[in-house]
Amino acid sequence: MGSGSGSELIFRGHETQPVNDEYSPKPNKPWLSVTRPIRYLLREQRLLFILIGVAIATVFFALLPSSPSSSSSSSYDPLPIPYLEQESTRWVQKARHMVGVHSVGKIPLGIKRKGLRIVVTGGAGFVGSHLVDRLIARGDSVIVVDNFFTGRKENVMHHFGNPRFELIRHDVVEPLLLEVDQIYHLACPASPVHYKFNPTNVVGTLNMLGLAKRVGARFLLTSTSEVYGDPLEHPQKETYWGNVNPIGVRSCYDEGKRTAETLTMDYHRGASVEVRIARIFNTYGPRMCLDDGRVVSNFVAQALRKEPLTVYGDGKQTRSFQYVSDLVEGLMRLMEGEHVGPFNLGNPGEFTMLELAKVVQETIDPDAKIEYRPNTEDDPHKRKPDISKAKEQLGWEPKVDLRKGLPLMVSDFRQRIFGDHKEGAQAAFA
């Protein structure tokens, strides 16, 4: 009976419950949604891994620069590039280039940079070929574009067979499409004997800027101290606007480079192309053209051939002479740094033409005669760079003085004038 009534009671109980076939969600327990992942993390030790990950990321980003800056910024970065050749530095610079951050900072240890693809227009010329040597040595892939107007295959043939080197015979006044990260634009009929109409400075520069815009490459223009003309300010600072005759015999070069600077800045401002401008002062060294009318190469070739050294005017006009390895270092620092420029790159040591002739006599032939000729039109009286901006913002200054650099050039010229061309082409840096 007792059990029967119990079952009855149970049954009744069921009967009294409403029958519900529908899905009823579990009761809401808000605390569960918080504690469940925590319990899961603790149980599986996932928390430990996450904390380690956060710590690694924090260390990584702490080593990268903290304040990104725009490429057009000209503010001073107190961190100079400590050593351009550091593989890891360049890897980080490349990464910054890709994300639009160009300030110089510390490098995560153990990270190796991938080589850049770089075009050097005019790379078979004097300065260009030395630049190519440095870029190849650094691990980059280099494409030289040159029409051999004044350049020579011999200047770069020691790279033939290197898979990271290519040589294209091409005139930059014609457009060209190449996938590259950086463009060093050196192509130009640069020596005084070629001061006549040539569209390279204008049309060639326009084409290379167009290429930079199209492929998103950084563009460096090698301008010249000639943009200061016959300067009324001495020494010349980058802020000086120059004193140039627009219709003189040298104007095609002076004004051509001034136009090239204008185009470069217009592409920078108007099309956001990353640009750099170097104003190069007289540079000398191995692989210079032998007879191109530049004063150092003239004097050296004349002294070696036992000809008189030709001095134009009274020989009191001054110039400064920079050894080519110093210039190449400056160009690379400028390209890798964050400042647009323009930057004067030159050696502030000032020499009159007669003093230069004396150094050449001391180095090659003390008996070399001097012959005076009438001065050329619009020849600048004084030329000396103020390089404080490059010192401060690029951490750069020349290291090789004339008495140290000239013998290196002389041995190259001697080999090219009197014999073995191959050795001359590979003459080493100081």
Crossing angle of helices 402-418/353-363, nearest 10°? 60
Binder to ligand NAD among 186, 217, 295, 332 (CB under 6 A)?
A: 186
Among candidate residues 228, 253, 284, 323, the one labeled active-site is: 253
Binder to ligand NAD among 77, 92, 122, 182 (CB under 6 A)?
A: 122
Surface-to-core class of residue 408, CB atoms within 10 Å of its CB (0-12 exposed, 13-18 middle, 19+ buried): buried
Residue number with CB closer to ligand NAD (95 or 173):
173
Counting contacts by CB under 6 A, is residue 166 touching ligand NAD? no
Counting contacts by CB under 6 A, is residue 222 touching ligand NAD? yes
Six-digit token pair at 198? 């040539």
Backbone angles phi, psi at 121, to 5 degrees: -80, 140
Counting contacts by CB under 6 A, is residue 149 touching ligand NAD? yes
Counting contacts by CB under 6 A, is residue 128 touching ligand NAD? yes
Beta bridge partners of 278: 222, 343
* Total length of the chain: 430
Quote the least distance from Cβ 97 to ligand NAD, whole Å.
Answer: 24
Distance, CA of 311 to CA of 252 (rounded, Å): 24
Six-digit token pair at 340? 């647009």
Quote the least distance from Cβ 121 to ligand NAD, whole Å.
Answer: 6
Does residue 253 carry a catalytic annotation?
A: yes
Contact predicate 161/138, CB 8 Å: no
Counting contacts by CB under 6 A, is residue 172 touching ligand NAD? yes
Distance, CA of 188 to CA of 351 (rounded, Å): 26
Binder to ligand NAD among 87, 166, 171, 266 (CB under 6 A)?
A: 171
Per the listing, tokens 């010329």 go with 125
**Which residues 6+ apart lie within 8 Å of 234 measured at CB?**
382, 384
Counting contacts by CB under 6 A, is residue 204 touching ligand NAD? yes
Binder to ligand NAD among 120, 127, 202, 332 (CB under 6 A)?
A: 127
Binder to ligand NAD among 103, 117, 126, 183 (CB under 6 A)?
A: 126
Residue number with CB closer to ligand NAD (91 or 228):
228
Cα pseudo-dihedral 315, 319, 325, 331, rounded to 10: -150
Counting contacts by CB under 6 A, is residue 202 touching ligand NAD? no
Position 386: which residue type?
D
Contact predicate 345/280, CB 8 Å: yes
Residue number with CB closer to ligand NAD (187 or 340):
187
Report the site for ligand NAD in 260-299 (rule: CB under 6 A): 280, 282-283, 289
**Which residues 6+ apart lie within 8 Å of 226 measured at CB?**
244, 250, 253, 254, 257
Binder to ligand NAD among 168, 173, 176, 427 (CB under 6 A)?
A: 173
Distance, CA of 354 to CA of 186 (rounded, Å): 30
Residue number with CB closer to ligand NAD (46 or 381):
381
Quote the least distance from Cβ 199 to ligand NAD, whole Å.
Answer: 8
Size of the site for ligand NAD (CB under 6 A): 30
Strands 318-320 and 350-352: antiparallel
Binder to ligand NAD among 81, 101, 189, 275 (CB under 6 A)?
A: 189
Active site amino acids: 253
Which residue ranges make up the site for ligand NAD (CB under 6 A)? 121-122, 124-128, 146-151, 171-173, 186-191, 200, 204, 222, 224, 280, 282-283, 289
